[in-house]
Amino acid sequence: MTRNAVAGAATLAVVATLLAVACGDRGAGGYASIEITGVYVAEPVSGARTAMYFTVANHGETDDELLSVSTPVAGRAEIHHTYADGGMMRMEPVASLPVGAGEVVRLAPGGVHVMLLDLREPLWAGDRIEATLRFRTLGEVAVRARVVGYEEIEERLERANDSVGSESR
């Protein structure tokens, strides 16, 4: 059983995000503190799949890694990375997403993302979904994500350079 605490929530002007700060005294393992910000899901374009994005900041002194994601709206979720294969961008599952002590890892379109597969219901911009992120050290963190449309995602990407470290404050 993990001892996580949702310590704060923040709403942004463009995209409402959840600021989940999960802290726990890990005993002999040291102090673990993972902050999840900027959680959103792309409105599905076609088919029963889409992607979820967020930023993970490890403020703790212990390396951690994201092992899996689950959400009631998808039959399964995979952590994907994107790579160039000739002129094609392709993606494939990875076993986990390491987030070392002091590191900030940003999931974004064209890079690492969480693929939501076998969607169980239609998702429309403005919808909110819940998801659970499971970390090796920290345990489970509950987040909520807003579904956003294509144009809003474009706006987010344009702001991406200055949003790390400021989007949650």
Q: Determine the Cα–Cα distance for residues 136 and 60; give it in Å rounded to an integer.
A: 14
50 near Cu ion, judged by CB under 5 A: no
Min. distance of Cβ 60 from Cu ion in angstroms? 28
Q: Determine the Cα–Cα distance for residues 139 and 92; give it in Å rounded to an integer.
A: 24
Name which of 86 and 110 has its Cβ closer to Cu ion. 110
Name which of 32 and 51 has its Cβ closer to Cu ion. 51
- Nearest Cα neighbor of 77 from 48, 109, 34 is 48
Among 21, 36, 80, 147, binds Cu ion (CB under 5 A): 80
Q: Determine the Cα–Cα distance for residues 34 and 102; give it in Å rounded to an integer.
A: 10
128: phi then psi, degrees, rounded to nearest 5? -125, 135
Name which of 27 and 93 has its Cβ closer to Cu ion. 93
Query: How big is the chain by its Cα radius of gyration, in Å?
Result: 15
Residue whose C-beta lies closest to Cu ion: 80
Name which of 80 and 156 has its Cβ closer to Cu ion. 80
End-to-end CA distance of the chain: 30
- For Cu ion (CB under 5 A), the number of binding residues is 3
- What is the footprint of Cu ion within residues 91-150 (CB under 5 A)? 91, 115
Q: Where along the sequence are the contacts to Cu ion (CB under 5 A)?
A: 80, 91, 115
